[in-house]
Structure 1
């Protein structure tokens, strides 16, 4: 039984259920049991010769529902549990630990339960390469127990030895850390989001997913830099820096390793050597800070469902292929090619974009999602109509979608590539292509007419410069060769009137 543990019992007279209030340090929880549960516990302990059979108050039939009997039995059962508390100050017998729900709320009980689980199926999980899920409370318990100068096995059962956990964490490749609730755990006062835990015990992780954990409680992330290939962090952070460079707060100036800096630095931070996928969607990130310098190999970046109003620093990610910036607060995206490079997939859905001028030079782009924005003018499509590789375009739920013949008018902006473009997840039909050809012909005719109109305007401007009293005047500039010897020559200006006279 953990030192400092306290037990109080009070009873519910209606159902004759005894409610046990357990306190372990700052953590408290309640357990509900009937007298029959006490009896079963006592039988198990007596069978193991751990307690005197006469210790438990006897079961009584007559007057069992009376208030006096319930109150007296309540005091007797409380004394019974307090006696057990004194009898097992160090190692709590498994039946008693389970009875008091130590495996759910108490550090030693939680680690013992986890160790026994891994003793039985840990090897199978490792060989199958399955994702293993742990709660912050379990990781906190392991972290706390490693800090204690205590034996790795407290209750004498080899199956519950902490060594089974350490062996498993050293070899595990796929981990999921998720808090099941934002409130207290079960019947306790334990708030998982307040429990710090250390990830440095994981030596071979390739993939980790963390959900509903405060970035302040996550320790040991830098120890994963040499192995991690995929990292997902959701509903846990207000900045990328807190996850990618958690030690940044310790230094006034830092730079990634291998980067020459003209400014004095107080620390050189190792890069995430193998990280190719970073998913930090569903957080409260407002800025893409310079911590991205530490993830140069990232190919897939998901920052959807955050609070971004601008796109910065992504020019440091030379290997980017897929970028998801959907459902942020982007209003404009100027010169995107200078920040996004040669990406193939870009999602900007759910923002507030009304212009596409910044996307004109994303020449490698294959898939572009612009759904749920504020695009109202079809002319904006011209900014992406010349992208040579674009095959999938989603413009659904934009104001322009209500324009008559919206699909064909958009496809017409792609000219000869209209048949190659899948618009709003629908393949282009032959009928649409026929209409596109008509629209293209009309557009060419209009452009030719505009050119002729512009030419006429130029002639009109010259005529205006040389008026002729109401007669139409043509201006011709001629050159006459020189006389004998071929020297010189003169330029002559002729004005030709309507009468045909020079």
Structure 2
């Protein structure tokens, strides 16, 4: 079904146009005239010197047979005097108004560019884009490059398609809307960059302009930034082809992007699922989406819209507002997960949600404990930098992970503990040499120290075992508190260095 476009700032009827020369400025030794252009609700400012008017008039007299006498003549003497500038200001205003009346529908290309229609007016914007694609479109498609568009351009195309006007107003075949539609049907890589605040010298706010993405039929990759989820329409039409979706500074919820139809239905389920209760809609899944980057948004929860992206392998939700992580158990193919710079304080039973992931970034959160990470047995790369980890004992929770090769703990409170690196590496036992800590490989000197720490730990364990054994014998025999004859083997009065020698000699 055709996406219903919300009414935008541009009315559907041909808007009223008005041109006023509102003032002048002296730049170096020449005068620049300030032109105010109004097109319906939109207005913008253009600045031109007299010589620009003269060049425009030369083109129009040749191409459009405009009366050569229409433009006020050049003046050499006193050209910057106040009286002359004010009189010429009124004459130039009359000149422009006469031209607009002479060409009420199809504005000649030189005049359209002179008044910056190619930057701010629907027909001018689409004509300029069509001409660009007429010349470069095929080359861009064959090169497979990312093509960049602004919301204002997409909005103009969407509006042009709604209007009952010819696809080529100017009569110049190079500006036909068909060039745009042919290009959008075949384009594979698209980038849409919005803006905050007015566009250029205009009062146009791009974030208020809805645009329709259903004209794109073959997209593999799309990146959208600085838009709003309300203005992005036609996203569901990309489900059949898209492999990579990136969205930044544009939404507060995953649902509004992945399942925009959800607002229309009380209950929905992914297509192909066996619903446990009556549903009002079955929604198609994103069949080929393997990369989802929704970093730098204001997302507060991982909602169940992730049911629609079962093939996602790379998920980036960094720089959001997550305080917990839910629903990721629906993503069976996850390999790389970035949850950095959120509001996480713990991650309980992470393996039940994250499965067999290889890379996990939790940097920049508020983590104090690692208890929930102990069963992420496939994990190779773990970033825990910039958290609140203070106790070395927490490292025991990840010390037994069999595949872990890269660990980043920088900028945590524990980093100020003396011999922090070797004490952390010692938690990995025989795998200490395989672990890169804080982006630095383990040195031979550190490994030697780790071996000593391991030996001390083993000796301590032997001592504890023998002490508890002695205590049991003592209790069983109801003997006195005096130590048994074999007590020297448990080293009650000797330093750890003796225990280390004993352990190493015995191969403990």
Q: TM-score, normalised by structure 2?
A: 0.90
Q: Does structure 1 residue 4 correspond to structure 2 residue 16?
A: yes
Q: Does structure 1 residue 454 correspond to structure 2 residue 446?
A: no
State how 1:254-293 maps to structure 2 within 5 Å: 254-293=268-307
Aligned residues: 468
| Cross-structure match for 2:444 | 430
5+ residue gaps, structure 1: 475-502
| Cross-structure match for 2:403 | 389
1:43 aligned residue (32, 36, 58)? 58
CA distance in 2 between partners of 1:48 and 1:415 (Å): 83
Deviates more, 1:151-160 or 1:53-62: 53-62
What SS is found at the alignment partner of 1:455? helix
What's the offset of the Cα at 1:60?
Answer: 2.5
Deviates more, 1:311-320 or 1:253-262: 253-262
| Cross-structure match for 2:318 | 304
| Cross-structure match for 2:228 | 214
What's the offset of the Cα at 1:2?
Answer: 5.6
**Over residues 321-348 of structure 1, what are the superposed CA-to-partner deviations in whole Å (9 max), with x where a residue is unaligned?**
0000011110011100000000010001
Please say if residues 349 and 372 of structure 1, whose CA atoms lie closer than 8 Å, have aligned partners that are also in contact: yes
**Over residues 80-130 of structure 1, what are the superposed CA-to-partner deviations in whole Å (9 max), with x where a residue is unaligned?**
111111110110101100100001110100111111111111101100100
| Cross-structure match for 2:138 | 123
CA distance in 1 between partners of 2:451 and 2:481 (Å): 45
What's the offset of the Cα at 1:147?
Answer: 0.7
Q: Does structure 1 residue 415 correspond to structure 2 residue 426?
A: no
Q: In structure 2, do the counterparts of structure 1 residues 416 and 99 end up closer, same or farther at CA, with 3 Å as the change threshold? A: same
What SS is found at the alignment partner of 1:216? coil
What SS is found at the alignment partner of 1:12? strand
**Over residues 396-442 of structure 1, what are the superposed CA-to-partner deviations in whole Å (9 max), with x where a residue is unaligned?**
11111111111111111111111111111111111111111111111
State how 1:133-148 maps to structure 2 within 5 Å: 133-148=148-163
Q: In structure 2, do the counterparts of structure 1 residues 420 and 471 end up closer, same or farther at CA, with 3 Å as the change threshold? A: closer
2:123 aligned residue (108, 112, 134)? 108
What's the offset of the Cα at 1:463?
Answer: 5.2
CA distance in 2 between partners of 1:325 and 1:3 (Å): 48
| Cross-structure match for 2:93 | 78
What's the offset of the Cα at 1:3?
Answer: 4.2
CA distance in 2 between partners of 1:128 and 1:460 (Å): 84
Q: TM-score, normalised by structure 1?
A: 0.91
| Cross-structure match for 2:356 | 342
What SS is found at the alignment partner of 1:11? strand
What SS is found at the alignment partner of 2:337? strand
Q: In structure 2, do the counterparts of structure 1 residues 411 and 78 end up closer, same or farther at CA, with 3 Å as the change threshold? A: same
Please say if residues 2 and 89 of structure 1, whose CA atoms lie closer than 8 Å, have aligned partners that are also in contact: no
| Cross-structure match for 1:191 | 205
State how 1:289-368 maps to structure 2 within 5 Å: 289-368=303-382
CA distance in 2 between partners of 1:270 and 1:67 (Å): 68
State how 1:221-260 maps to structure 2 within 5 Å: 221-260=235-274
CA distance in 1 between partners of 2:234 and 2:65 (Å): 41
CA distance in 1 between partners of 2:370 and 2:228 (Å): 37
What's the offset of the Cα at 1:461?
Answer: 4.4
5+ residue gaps, structure 2: 1-12, 485-508
Which has the higher Rg, Structure 1 or Structure 2?
Answer: 1
